[in-house]
Chain A
C-alpha cells in the first residue's frame, strides 16, 4: 500500500505533493479560463444542444478550484484523500468535462462526443459514466445533501479531505437545498464549502421576476452558514475566499459568487436564451473570436 492509498489523516504530506499534478500560476489561470470557455462553446455547438450560459458563468470558480485549491489526482480519480468537487448544478456538465479533460482525467478528444449516444460525457453529470465526476446530477437541489454525506464520512473516518459543492442560484428555489443548509449547520459540517454561482438568471427569466432569492446572503447566514460575497470572475477574490473558508470552524461555509451568465461571449452574456441553447456555426465562430 502506497502512502497515497492510506485511509488516515496523517497522509496530508502526500496530499500536498499531489497538488503539483495539476497546477497553474496565477498568470496562467486566465489562459486556463479562456481554454475552458472555448471548449464549452465548441462542444455544445458540436452537440447542437446543452447549457452554455451556466457553464460559462462558473468558469473562474472551477478554474480556481481545480488548478489551485483541490488536492486531486487525475491519474487516480478514486484516490481516497482527494478533495471532493460535487457539481450540483448538473446542467453545467460541459464546464466540468472541459475541466476534467484539461486536467487529464480523460483525453481532450473525447470532448467532441458530448451528448452523443454511448458517450461517457452524458448530457448531465453522471458518476457512473465519467472519470472524475463525483456525483450524478441534473435534477436540481440534490448535490448539497450528497456533499454533506461525503463530509460526514470524512469526519467519521478522520480523513482530512474537504468537500466543495457548486450550486446555481436558481437551484436555491428547491426546498431540499434549505433542508441541507439546516442540516449542515446542525451537524457543524466545517469540512464543506458551498459555492453559489449567482448569475441572476434561471431558465425562463430573471430570478427576481420568477422567484426572488434576495436577500441571498442573509438567507444563508440565517441558516447558520459562514457567508462570503465575491466577484465570481475575479480569481484573486475567489482564491482568497476559498482559502478563508477552509479556516472556518464549527459551521459550514458558503461563497456567493456574483457572476454573469454566458460570461465571455458577448451575445450570450445576461441572455436567458442561452441558458439551454447551442450556438449555431456562425455564432460559434464569433464566440471563438471573442475568446482568443
Chain B
C-alpha cells in the first residue's frame, strides 16, 4: 500500500502556495483552523485570514461580499456545517448570486470516526449538487487535492470541495493533471465499470485487483467532479462494459449513484449496483470499522460487481 497522506494538510499547504502567487486569495474559517488546516494560511497571511468564530452562516455571507469585490475567498469548516448548517446562505448569497466563493469542507463521511453521527456528513453532495451553477468536486488523494485546489482558485464561479478527515494512500502519480468535469480512467476494463469518488477510489482499485484474479476485467473510473459530471465517460462505460457499480461515502440518495443512474437511464440503461450509505446515520467507531459496518469496503465493491454482472443482458 502506498504511503497515506492527509488531504486536508495538503489543502492547507496548497492555499499558502496560492496565496504567495495571488494577493486576491483570502481565507475564512469558523474556529476550526487547526482541523481544516487553514492555520498555515493564517500564519503566513494574517491580514488575509478571517476567523468568524462558530458562525458558519455569517462566514458564507462575508465570503460572498469579498467575492463580489474581486477577492477569491476560500471558506472552510466541517462538511456538516457547510453546506449542512448554512445551506440557505450558500443557496442565496453564493449560488443564486453567482459569486466566486470556494467552499472547502473537511471531515466528510463515516471516516470522521469517533465523533459520531452529528459530525459525519453523508448528505452534503445531495445538497450541493442541487444548486444551479455550483461546481462540486471530491478529490481522492492528496495529489489530486493539490491539483483541485489550484484549479478551483483559477475557475471563475462558486465551488464546493469535499475532503475527508482520514489520511488516504496516494493513488495518482506526481504528474497527475486534473481538469474540472473530466473523469479519470484509473484502470481499463471491459466486463463492468466501477465509478468511485473520494475515499472509495482506492477501495475500487483494490476490488478490481481482486476481481482480476477471478478473471473479471473491471474498469475503474475516478469521478472527482460530481457536477458538472462527465456524462461522456459514463455513457461510454455503459456501452462498453454493460454494467456499472458506483461507490461513495455518502447517502445513496442524491449522490454519485443517483447522478450516474439518471444519466444512464436517459442514454443507455444497463444494470447498476450502489455501494453507499443506505438511508441511515453514522455512529462512533474507528474509521475502518465504520467502513465495514456501512459496507463501504473493497469487499463490498467486489460483491456488487459480481451481482451486477449476473444481471447483464
Chain A residue contacts of B92, Cβ below 8 A: 136-139, 142
Report the minimal beta-carbon distance from A253 to chain B, rounded to whole angstroms.
17
Interface of B is mostly: helix
User: Are B62 and A134 within 8 A (Cβ)?
Assistant: no
Identify the stretch in A34-42, A172-180, A223-231, A260-268 within 8 Å (CB) of chain B at 4 or more residues: A172-180
**Cα(A156)–Cα(B52), bound, Å:** 17
Chain B residue contacts of A157, Cβ below 8 A: 69-70
**Cα(A152)–Cα(B50), bound, Å:** 10
Interface of A is mostly: helix
- What mask results when residues 66 to 106 of chain B are scored 1 for a CB within 8 Å of chain A, else 0? 11111101000000000000001101110011100000000
User: Are A145 and B50 within 8 A (Cβ)?
Assistant: no
Q: Is A127 an interface residue (CB 8 A)?
A: yes
User: Are A148 and B71 within 8 A (Cβ)?
Assistant: no
Q: Considering the complex, give the chain A residue whose CB is closest to the CB of B56.
A: A179
Report the minimal beta-carbon distance from A120 to chain B, rounded to whole angstroms.
15
User: Are B53 and A148 within 8 A (Cβ)?
Assistant: no
Q: Considering the complex, give the chain A residue whose CB is closest to the CB of B57.
A: A176
Q: Is B169 an interface residue (CB 8 A)?
A: no
Chain A residue contacts of B67, Cβ below 8 A: 149
Chain A residue contacts of B88, Cβ below 8 A: 139, 142
Chain A residue contacts of B52, Cβ below 8 A: 179, 183
Task: Answer whether A145 and B48 are a contact pair too, CB < 8 Å, given A134-B68, A183-B53, A183-B55.
Answer: no
User: Are A149 and B48 within 8 A (Cβ)?
Assistant: no
Q: Considering the complex, give the chain A residue whose CB is closest to the CB of B69.
A: A153
Q: Is B269 an interface residue (CB 8 A)?
A: no
For chain A, which range describes its interface: under 10, 10 to 19, 20 to 34, or 35 or more residues?
20 to 34
Task: Answer whether A142 and B89 are a contact pair too, CB < 8 Å, given A128-B97, A150-B69.
Answer: yes
Report the minimal beta-carbon distance from B282 to chain A, rounded to whole angstroms.
27
Report the minimal beta-carbon distance from A72 to chain B, rounded to whole angstroms.
15
**Cα(A149)–Cα(B89), bound, Å:** 14
Q: Is B256 an interface residue (CB 8 A)?
A: no
Task: Answer whether A149 and B97 are a contact pair too, CB < 8 Å, given A156-B47, A156-B48.
Answer: no
Q: Is A144 an interface residue (CB 8 A)?
A: yes
Chain A residue contacts of B71, Cβ below 8 A: 149, 153, 156
Chain A residue contacts of B62, Cβ below 8 A: 145-146, 148-149, 152, 180, 183
User: Are B53 and A182 within 8 A (Cβ)?
Assistant: yes
Report the minimal beta-carbon distance from A174 to chain B, rounded to whole angstroms.
9
Residues 177 to 191 of chain A near chain B (Cβ within 8 Å): 179-180, 182-183, 186-187
Residues 113 to 165 of chain A near chain B (Cβ within 8 Å): 126-128, 134-139, 141-154, 156-157
Chain B positions near chain A (C-beta within 8 angstroms): 26, 47-48, 50, 52-53, 55, 57-71, 73, 88-89, 91-93, 96-98
Please list 11 pairs of residues, one from A and one from B, whose beta carbons are closer than 8 Å in the complex, sorted by A's number: A134-B68, A139-B91, A141-B57, A142-B92, A142-B93, A145-B61, A148-B65, A149-B62, A149-B66, A149-B67, A175-B57
